[in-house]
Structure 1
Amino acid sequence: MSTTQLPFTEDELSDFTSALTEWPSTAFDNGYSEVAVSPFTTFYFLYEPHSWRDTSLLMVDTHEEFERLTGHPYRIATHPVTERPHRYGSKRVPDLRSLITKMKGSEAFLFSFTDEENTNSSPAIAGCFYRKRDYLNKRDRDDDRPPAYSYVQFYYRWQWWLDHQEDWRRFLLSTIEKLRPEQVYSGFSIANPLAFEARSEISVWERSLTERFYGLDIDYPFGMSMGMDESLPAGLKPPTWGFFLADHWRAKLDVSREHVVAVAKAAGIRVYDCKTGLWLELGDEPRLYPVADGVPPMHVALNALLRPLRNDALDLVGTGQWDGDPNVRFNRRDAKRWLGRFDKESDWPNAAARIRKNAVSRSEPT
């Protein structure tokens, strides 16, 4: 993407917005790559230093289970050491389990798979897996920053999810029990391409589309998993659909599971009990919630409960702004406004838009 011109015109943005209103998982083709809104699920988790090998193997198990579930769709795999993309099944990509036996806990473990051959395009089905390295030296142990998260992120086709909801939910709840994550988010977001440099264009799309859809999430684990004040280990982000409230975070609210369940059910939110927390679903299925339809009341209700845990400093700036760059991305002020969009006193995206019916959304499920 060039930093001297816009990646889309206002007409193209309007057309993409209209298409997403009709079908919430849609792609925009700019001639050399595609930007697509996609269903996603991301697990953010910690692990004990002594269990780094078992955790690595569990991540491989999770990858293989998801691959079977989605019908073996992958075309590209990244090398766990060089991170270079190769044809799926290539001998250049080592066997993951064999590699784990040769690794050390002080080494990070990163591997990805995608069905998209163009690494600058959003994938339709993909998995990204990262186990942070185990910090063993004294300087890192004494660091006061929150511990960084490892993560597992999936993208999948919207029609596939509609056709396999129960299979997906069994997989999700099983993965929660195995990984024991600190946070899990599921809903719609722009699917990040495999190529790191493509993130710059994605961040411009995010800034524009989040003004039009309350339910479009931003989920970029590479930046959000870091153990910094501006990352998820320091606090939550507002859920857009599925969300795992771990007991660790619930204890910080000083409320019981029963209290959370009562608040959720009163708002029409589904609750699934897990060993280490509660899985919550805001409605029967993920939705984008066009701003024109008003602020979704379920999100307002859950936001009121979780607000003390929210990280209002969460970094959405991404690659930042260059001199002469006409593209609009999140700055710190607008990032905080977007994170607080379900607050009753919020003015996101603007005060006039929120005057509309914000008690009941007019959007119907797909």
Structure 2
Amino acid sequence: MNNQEQRKLEIEENEMSTITPYLTEEEQVEWIEEIKATDKLWVTGYEGEDAYGIGPYVTFYIYHSAEEASQLITQFVEIFNEFNQIKNEEWVSFKHPVKDIFIKAENAQTLLEDLEQTCQRQYTRDDFLSFAATASDDTEISSAVWATYFRVTPYSDTYSVLKMNFRYAWYKESEENKEKWHRFVERCIDKLKPRHAYSGFEIAQAASLHLGSYEINSLEKIVTQAFYGVDIDHPSFNGSNTHDDPDGYVNERKLGSGVRTPVWSFLLDPYWITKLNKTAEEIKAYFSCFKEVEVKEIEYPENQTGLWIRLGELAMYPVEDGVPVLPIYANALIKPIRCDELKLVGYAQWDDDPNEHLSYDEGIAWMRRFDEDSSWPEGKRVNKVNGLSLEEEKLKEKGGALCPQTGYWQTPARPDLRQYFEQGEILPTFSELDWGEVYWYWAGRE
């Protein structure tokens, strides 16, 4: 039996059919509408079994030496203890770092009292460590509203990872909670000095250990068609790198090849700032025209500076509302170092499988969804500058060309600007912004 046949059998045994869709078209529509209508964890699946929903997360990818692993374990446990004080619900279960099984919270008192020592001993024995905790109110191992997972490895070609899911309803409850969360994340970055860090909405999965499962891959295909603000974060199969390859080889399908498409909050550490060929001050100036964008400096060794960038409010960005301006602006900045070919799914589809995943080409198109020439999702895209679908856009012109019609024009390169041009005038390119190709959109005569 080959791997594909084996996985197909596993899914059938777990009641996810490869003949009928996981969610029918009607169920998909209902699920998407529920996501838009509520600020809770939006869950689909079977009660008491694996259930999946959309929720916010933050993930840190740490590039470190084998000698630094012990210190990193200490830091992960310290962050877990602080996270434990922030959440407003009790843990339900834990993945034991030694036994590699989930145990009930009531049986975990000894583990928690001796967590760091247990983790250190496990790492010393096996050169590997993983730990998870979940406070899910739906099922023990999936779609946790509060969850954490960390993994430590001694190999320089694999990032160690810390991932946390947090309850969106708690986050939105008050400005105090938002501020508490943001300062906590900044302390995590300052402590860990990660190579990558991202935060936004995803199919909640941190503690399920289904990182990149068949079901999650199917749901990701559905939500990427409906929301620009969904993210895809799978440390289990994209959290590696070729930074130290002696031949200079770069694996374009792994996260070490570049920065992932920013949606809400993302990190530019000194390594990526250097690759971008910019200074921290230049990047801060780039975002200075947006009052809602917050850029925090993070001190790195050797007097270097990293930047943690938050693009306004956490949002799902439904496709029908148009392409959001802030992600457009951020992605124009990082485009030269973006990892467009990042592996996004864990399992390939087989013939006649009704549960679609993002194909390789679709994954690239999704990573490029904020680019000026993108059409993602095909047939649904609306440009927020002029409110027209791509199919309806008749008056769009590239910077440097002659204005085809007298009136007002707008560009995502300067979203605060609505400028009047006479027919035949040269449309500006704003080369000083390092935006890349600038396009102007017709905005009316008045």
TM-score between both structures, scaled by the size of structure 2: 0.73
CA, structure 1 residues 197+307, in 2 after alignment: closer, same or farther (shift >3 Å)? Answer: closer
- Partner Cα distance (2:209, 2:139) in 1: 9
- Partner Cα distance (2:385, 2:230) in 1: 17
Report what 2:200 is aligned to: 187
Report what 2:299 is aligned to: 275
1:69-108 matched pairs, under 5 angstroms? 69-71=86-88, 73-90=90-107, 94=111, 95-102=114-121, 103-104=123-124, 107-108=127-128
Report what 1:127 is aligned to: 148
* Cα displacement (A) at 1:358: 4.2
Q: Partner of 1:353: helix, strand, or coil?
A: coil
- Partner Cα distance (1:82, 1:214) in 2: 40
Is 1:149 equivalent to 2:159 in the alignment? yes
- Paired letter, 1:155: N
Is 1:66 equivalent to 2:94 in the alignment? no
Match of 1:357 among 363, 369, 384: 384
Match of 2:27 among 5, 12, 15: 12
Report what 1:309 is aligned to: 337
Q: Which runs of 5+ in 2 are unaligned?
A: 1-15, 242-250, 301-305, 389-446
Report what 1:332 is aligned to: 360
Report what 1:30 is aligned to: 45
CA, structure 1 residues 189+101, in 2 after alignment: closer, same or farther (shift >3 Å)? Answer: closer
1:50-65 matched pairs, under 5 angstroms? 50-65=67-82
Q: Partner of 1:12: helix, strand, or coil?
A: helix
Aligned length in residues: 348
Maintained 8 Å contact 1:188/1:217: yes
**Which stretch shifts more, 220-229 or 173-182?**
220-229
Q: Quick one: higher RCO (CA 8 Å, sep 6+), 1 or 2?
A: 1
Q: Partner of 2:74: helix, strand, or coil?
A: helix
* Cα displacement (A) at 1:25: 4.2
Report what 1:364 is aligned to: none
**Which stretch shifts more, 175-184 or 312-321?**
312-321
* Cα displacement (A) at 1:89: 4.5
* Cα displacement (A) at 1:290: 0.6
Is 1:243 equivalent to 2:258 in the alignment? no
**Which stretch shifts more, 95-104 or 150-159?**
95-104
- Partner Cα distance (1:47, 1:307) in 2: 26
* Cα displacement (A) at 1:21: 1.7
TM-score between both structures, scaled by the size of structure 1: 0.89
Q: Partner of 2:22: helix, strand, or coil?
A: coil
CA, structure 1 residues 99+332, in 2 after alignment: closer, same or farther (shift >3 Å)? Answer: same
**Which stretch shifts more, 329-338 or 17-26?**
17-26
Maintained 8 Å contact 2:332/2:371: yes
* Cα displacement (A) at 1:81: 2.9
- Partner Cα distance (2:108, 2:199) in 1: 34
- Paired letter, 2:323: V
Cα deviation, 1:51-100, whole Å, max 9, x if unaligned, reads 21111111111111101111352110001134211112525974322224
Is 1:291 equivalent to 2:319 in the alignment? yes
Cα deviation, 1:87-115, whole Å, max 9, x if unaligned, reads 12525974322224434286111000001
**Which stretch shifts more, 312-321 or 56-65?**
312-321
1:159-178 matched pairs, under 5 angstroms? 159-162=169-172, 163=174, 164-178=177-191
Q: Which runs of 5+ in 1 are unaligned?
A: 136-145, 362-366
Q: Partner of 2:107: helix, strand, or coil?
A: coil
- Partner Cα distance (1:38, 1:244) in 2: 20
- Paired letter, 2:34: A
Maintained 8 Å contact 1:185/1:239: yes
Is 1:319 equivalent to 2:347 in the alignment? yes
- Paired letter, 1:305: L
Maintained 8 Å contact 1:24/1:287: no
Report what 1:233 is aligned to: 256
**Which stretch shifts more, 155-164 or 206-215?**
155-164
* Cα displacement (A) at 1:273: 1.5
- Partner Cα distance (1:24, 1:128) in 2: 23
* Cα displacement (A) at 1:346: 0.6
Match of 1:258 among 278, 281, 284: 281
CA, structure 1 residues 52+358, in 2 after alignment: closer, same or farther (shift >3 Å)? Answer: same
- Partner Cα distance (1:198, 1:263) in 2: 35
- Paired letter, 1:306: I
- Partner Cα distance (2:193, 2:171) in 1: 23
Is 1:343 equivalent to 2:332 in the alignment? no
Percent identity, please. Answer: 30
Maintained 8 Å contact 1:293/1:358: no
- Paired letter, 1:44: Y
Maintained 8 Å contact 2:331/2:371: yes
- Paired letter, 2:235: P
- Partner Cα distance (2:195, 2:92) in 1: 31
Cα deviation, 1:235-277, whole Å, max 9, x if unaligned, reads 1111110111111101101111111011112244221121131
- Partner Cα distance (2:326, 2:141) in 1: 35
* Cα displacement (A) at 1:118: 2.3
- Paired letter, 1:210: T
- Paired letter, 2:127: E
RMSD: 2.2
* Cα displacement (A) at 1:120: 5.2
* Cα displacement (A) at 1:226: 2.3
